[in-house]
Amino acid sequence: MQIDNFSLSLLLAGTIFLSCNRNTDVPLEEHSPKPNIIYILADDLGYADIGAYGQQKIETPNIDALARSGMLFTQHYSSAPVCAPARHMLLTGRHAGHAFIRSNFEWGERGDVWNYRAMAKDSTLEGQGPMPDSTVTMAHRLKKVGYATGMVGKWGLGAPHTASIPNEMGFDFFYGFNCQRQAHTYYPLHLYHNRSRVHLRNDTIAPNTAFPMGADPKDPANYADFTLKDYAPDLMFKALTDFVDQHKKEPFFLYWASPIPHVALQAPQRWVDYYIEKFGDEEPYLAGNPGGYFPHKNPHAAYAAMISYLDENIGKLVQQLKAEKIYENTLIIFTSDNGPSYAGGADPEWFDSAHPFDGRYGRAKGFLYEGGIRVPMIASWPGKIGAGSRSDLISAQYDILATLAEVTGYPVPSDNDGISMLPTLLKKGDQKIHDFLYWEFPSYGGQVALRMGDWKLIRRNLMNKEDPTLELYNLKEDSTETRNVALMHPEILKNAAKIFERERDRPEMQDFQIPLIDDGLLAEKLD
């Protein structure tokens, strides 16, 4: 059977890019003071894990209030289905066909990097594979136009003793987890304040410590070892409120990369008790394999408690902004880095976390279906963004760099893959539209995806010579991706192949390469 080269290359790997937009369409009034910008990135929060997006069991009144005061986006996407690449593409404005980091990379050649105790003794084992020293982030660009830049939360884009730490990547201030493996406990031995460790009053309880053998899982006392003294989110929230207080008289950019609600299930007991009363008795989660992380007597209550705790702190931050009389001049964006997790006692089916999409393993975090990459996004800016507004604009997190360029005045780089969403936010000017969105993910079997208008192409199983999938869905008619119509639309596949050929660069890192794409083996197999 003869198939043209474009169709073959597409078959192997849909991916996304988008037509670029420069920061010239909707300039803010020149006399207006530069707004403060707070970007809140939750971790593994599903599309429907908050009330504004339909959650029925978890209470999020402060996030819901942001939605009522601003704009709720219904078709916003993460740039990747897991932590590190999503954060890299957010900060650099590049999609997965051009990005340097395309998956989590734990840099295992350094030694026993998964050994929590070894990392505690040797900081050279912490952190993830670094971004190139030449990387220019959104924070670098904001600094150049007069912003104080701060980051609080989980970094996951480099390691101590490299140039790929927040303070070398454009942030004046950092407090939190350098390493995303360390963030697998909310009671770590240390956090980082800028470049230095801050040791906490916690014992060494390594992640993935299972429930004690032979102990009674119904006895709360048997879970005491998993709740220690210094709860990292409390310390990080104090650091971010201090940052706001210190920079309230100048424009600031605060990147709040909260680790919540990524497992392990660890939350303030007052919130856990609240949801125990609401949900009633439930089966304990005992950790161990499969699933890992830490056990919890009331896993549903703990998951809900984490999200309500985050919501509570967002409410406190808004009150601080109002008290300092800077709320009116602050753009707040709330979103998540990817879809919900299914590990560590999280139960996206019970919460219907990805509604209307599928939140189960294979369809949520780690996968390029809607449940893994469609995320909530709320933007609030009093007096600028209409209260209670909604947008169906198809957008991705790598659009944020171009959007903030138009808000603040820094130039958009020539290699940017995003478009500015400011015309939509302000309902002023002409909104550029993506020709396509592009995803490429070398993990979980190797995957690529491409969204073109209502059409979504997905290819999976690309890391070996087994039959890769070819899936095409019309999201307008089939938003849950249940009816594969690839064989009915060869013209869509051909167009996607052209986009893929044009927009994809071979990854620089061997760990991010997908053999069936990079070596032409898929085309060879299909011929």
Strand extents, DSSP E, 75-177: 76-77, 148-154, 173-177
- Three-state SS letters, 313-379: HHHHHHHHHHHCCCHHHEEEEEEECCCCCCCCCCCHHHHCCCCCCCCCCCCCCCCCCHHHHECCEEE
Under a CB-based contact definition with an 8 Å cutoff, are residues 406 and 423 in contact? Answer: no
25: left (phi over 0), alpha (psi -120 to 50) or beta: alpha
Task: List the CATH code of the domain at 38-96+126-392.
Answer: 3.40.720.10
Under a CB-based contact definition with an 8 Å cutoff, are residues 63 and 50 in contact? Answer: yes
Question: Residue 133: what pLDDT?
Answer: 97
Cβ atoms < 10 Å from Cβ of 429: 15
Query: Distance between CA 137 and CA 134 in Å, rounded?
Result: 10
Question: Which segments of the chain belong to CATH 3.40.720.10?
Answer: 38-96+126-392
Question: Residue 518: what pLDDT?
Answer: 77
What's the predicted TM-score (pTM) here?
0.93
Q: Which residues contact 45 (CB under 8 A, 6 or more apart)?
A: 260, 261, 307, 336, 340, 375, 376
Q: What angle do CA 100, 101, 106 make, to 5 degrees?
A: 135
Question: Residue 3: what pLDDT?
Answer: 37
Under a CB-based contact definition with an 8 Å cutoff, are residues 64 and 42 in contact? Answer: no
Query: Distance between CA 423 and CA 437 in Å, rounded?
Result: 19
**Strand 148-154 to 455-459 pairing:** unpaired
What tokens appear for 399 in the block? 């659009």
What tokens appear for 498 in the block? 């052209």
**CATH class for the domain made up of 1-17+435-527:** alpha beta
Question: Which segments of the chain belong to CATH 3.30.1120.10?
Answer: 1-17+435-527
What tokens appear for 456 in the block? 């979504």
Q: What is the pLDDT along the chain (527 residues), one digit of tens a residue?
A: 333 333 334 443 333 333 333 344 444 554 468 999 999 999 999 999 999 999 999 999 999 999 999 999 999 999 999 999 999 999 999 999 999 999 999 999 999 999 999 999 999 999 999 999 999 999 999 999 999 999 999 999 999 999 999 999 999 999 999 999 999 999 999 999 999 999 999 988 888 999 999 999 999 999 999 999 999 999 999 999 999 999 999 999 999 999 999 999 999 999 999 999 999 999 999 998 778 999 999 999 999 999 999 999 999 999 999 999 999 999 999 999 999 999 999 999 999 999 999 999 999 999 999 999 999 999 999 999 999 999 999 999 999 999 999 999 999 999 999 999 999 999 999 999 999 999 999 999 999 999 999 999 999 999 876 788 999 999 999 999 999 999 999 999 999 988 988 999 999 999 999 988 877 655 444 33
DSSP-assigned states of every residue in 148-194: EEEEEEE--S--TTSS-SGGGTT-SEEEEES-TTGGG-SS-SEEEET
Residue 254's identity, in one-letter code, is L
Q: Which ranges of 247-334 would DSSP assign to H, the alpha helix?
A: 269-279, 299-323
Give the position of tokens 């009671």. Answer: 187
Buried b (16+ CB within 10 A) or exposed e, 135-174: bebbbbbbbeeebbbbbbbbbbbbbbebebbbbbbbbbbb
Phi, psi of 449, deg, nearest 5: -150, 155
Q: Which residues contact 49 (CB under 8 A, 6 or more apart)?
A: 55, 58, 261, 307, 336, 340, 351, 353, 376
3-state secondary structure at position 6: helix
Question: Residue 426: what pLDDT?
Answer: 98
Under a CB-based contact definition with an 8 Å cutoff, are residues 45 and 348 in contact? Answer: no
Phi, psi of 436, deg, nearest 5: -165, 160
